[in-house]
Amino acid sequence: MGFDSLVPRLIQAVIFDLDGLLLDSESAWDGGRRALVAEHGLEWPDGATEAMLGMSSPEWSRYVRDRLHVPLEPAEISERVVAHVLDAYAERLPLLPGAEEAVARIAERWPLALASSSNRPVIDRVMETSGWADRFRTWVSSEEVARGKPAPDVFLEAARRLGVYPGDAAGVEDSRNGILAARAAGLQRVIAVPNHEFPPGEEALRAADVVLGSLDELTPAAVEG
């Protein structure tokens, strides 16, 4: 084995999650789904919220139809929930504390991508409203790939669009499925900033290279390790 193979490759890009990491948005998505279920006189079962964390739009829409028994086609389910989320964002974009500063710090050093389970229209609204369209080189919705998190597809596509090898990128995530997706994508460094409302659990945290207490701790040094 040559010496060069022992030298860690430099981080070339950073891929962020969105919901629960930069935006306090899980409650908006959860509220939209719950409202749709209640509209049809159905009960919200225990574990449904956690089960849908990280799912792509086609996946959670099918879950709402097949497991929660909402009598609508998945496309209409998705459309109605997205409308609820967009209405909520029109009133206020729920940026989490330290999100703007963290994005600005990391963008000064590396090109950024977003790998999100949100629908593309929602991501576009966030980018337009936040001004982050100038910070992120590209953004990918898991509805644009074959599988949602914890499958690696959305991270692999984000790296491809950035033009970097996944092993030369770092990922920043908050949820169980997101952390496992970043690990499965073969990213060089997986950084967890755990969601306090929906904790990722010890198994997922063990798959991360570093666990931070907040976005204030997300610095170039933390990314590089």
Mind telling me the catalytic residues? 17, 19
| Pair 140, 161: CB distance under 8 Å | yes
Query: What's the CA dihedral at 159, 51, 129, 185 to 10 degrees?
Result: -10
Contact 153, 142 (CB under 8 A): yes
| 83 secondary structure, DSSP code | H
Q: Give CA–CA dist 219/225, Å, rounded.
A: 10
DSSP one-letter code for 42: -
**Exposed / middle / buried, residue 121 (Cβ in 10 Å: 0-12, 13-18, 19+):** middle
Distance CA 178, CA 53 (A): 9
List the beta strands (DSSP E) in 58-127. 112-116
13 class by beta-carbon count within 10 Å (0-12 exposed, 13-18 middle, 19+ buried): buried
